[in-house]
Amino acid sequence: MKLNTPLNLFILLFLCLFTQATAQTLRVGAAVRVITPDPLLPVSGGIGTPKPSMEKKGDLFARAMVFEQGNTRFAIVNVDNLGWTSVLGNKSRALIKGIAPENILIGATHTHSAPDAYGFPDATGKNYADLKYLDRCVQQIADAVNEAIMKLEPAALKVNVEEAKGKIAYNYYAPALYDPRCGVIQAIATTGARQGKAIATLVNYAIHPEVIGSGRGILSPDLCGPLYSRIEAQAGGVALFMNGAQGGMVTADTRLEFGKEGQSSQKEANTWEECIRIGELLADEALRIINKAPVLDAPSIYCTSKMIDLPVDSEMMRYILTNSPLKYEYKKPNTVSTQLNLLNIGPAQILTVPGEALPNVGYYVKRHMATKLPFLFGLTNDAFGYMLAKVDYNSFKRYDYVTRTSLGEMTAEIYMDQALQLIQASPKPVLK
């Protein structure tokens, strides 16, 4: 039989189109692991000695969402902790099969009620991190991603960004200076028994989950726990939370009354009930925002990364990095290297931030992104303290703390420059 007969040409064309369509099908999978320590461990809200915990309010989790299309595959992971360094992240990446290490994004929710994952040393060099617990978390993170890979299934997407309404967050230093936009990505199964149902819903919002804090004797995911529960009860699937540019100091709005900037904690509701209120309100707002978005049946995805160097000018940060039992590696003297990722997911563009960028830094980067649906994943791939523009660094008394806990004056400047270069070098998201 000749290959150029009409029937054979039709079959050949069909096979080519079928192969191409199959190769470009978006597939998404999600999985969860509990990382609550048993027995409970002291909790860390930052630099200083962790405080003993006597009870827990909700579990701590590692939550993973994997995307695949053709030869592109990447993972997004959130960890309920104050911060999650690349030292720990790279250990998980080495245990994950089927995804290039640089395509695995691991971000901390920034709860202030979880065990120390930095290994903060005190003045004598002693640290209080439980390394066996951290090793278990490393394995659990890898297990969550590996399971998500096994669960990959054809999916459509819904993507949207809008202002979240209600009493959720504010800037403790200047109440209105924060980003109220909430970005949401939802993957929906397109085949099988779960067709039309959510596989996963990712929420991106800038806020300090510090309602409970580290001094109450309570271990908790803070407001993130009620957010997960509410979304999963209402939409199904797995819920994830990726923080944003919440530095200096975008925190949960627990104020009992609106008053002067930086009002005292006696006028705040720092309770588990307030975690539930804020977490469920943010979840409801995220679902409101995503429910009005159109279903994208054939979205495209893209992932790239680059390493950037950040000088460590702060003596305190040098001390922490040098004396931590995690054993940070310096490729250059007093310089840390960290991974910056850019993702396109349908019409959305995502950039990672290796720390707590102040809102103006976040706004600047978002304004230059090639989309009307910008996402910033803060405290992702690393968590190197606050990132403030050089004109803000050590400029106001209000910024004394964020200056002391920053790598240095040029941290945000280098980040913004490198982020914009990455945006320019990358394809634009498909705006459909």
Token pair belonging to 96: 């994950």
Token pair belonging to 94: 């080495």
One-character DSSP codes across 215-247: SSSEE--TTHHHHHHHHHHHH-SEEEEEE-S-T
The CA distance from 159 to 343, in Å, is 14
Mean pLDDT, residues 130-157 taken together: 98
Q: What is the pLDDT of residues 283-326, one digit of tens each?
A: 999 999 999 999 999 899 999 999 999 999 999 999 999 999 99
Token pair belonging to 136: 């278990």
Residues 6+ apart with CB under 8 A from 282: 164, 168, 182, 203, 205, 207, 223, 227
* CA distance between the termini of the chain: 44
Q: What is the pLDDT of residue 21?
A: 44
Q: Are 241 and 64 in contact (CB under 8 A)?
A: no
Q: What is the pLDDT of residue 16?
A: 46
Q: What is the pLDDT of residues 269-291, one digit of tens each?
A: 899 999 999 999 999 999 999 99
Mean pLDDT, residues 34-47 taken together: 94
The CA distance from 360 to 177, in Å, is 8
Instruction: Name 43's bridge partners.
Output: 51
pTM greater than the 0.75 cutoff: yes
Token pair belonging to 170: 């504010």
**Whether residue 429 has a cis bond before it, omega within 30° of 0:** no
The CA distance from 379 to 377, in Å, is 7
- Residue 180's pLDDT band, with cuts at 50, 70 and 90, is very high
One-character DSSP codes across 107-142: EE---SSB--SS--B-TTS-B---HHHHHHHHHHHH
Strand 198-205, strand 181-189: pairing: antiparallel
Apex CA 31: angle with CA 29 and CA 36, to 5°?
165
Mean pLDDT, residues 350-376 taken together: 98
The CA distance from 201 to 285, in Å, is 13
Q: Are 248 and 173 in contact (CB under 8 A)?
A: yes
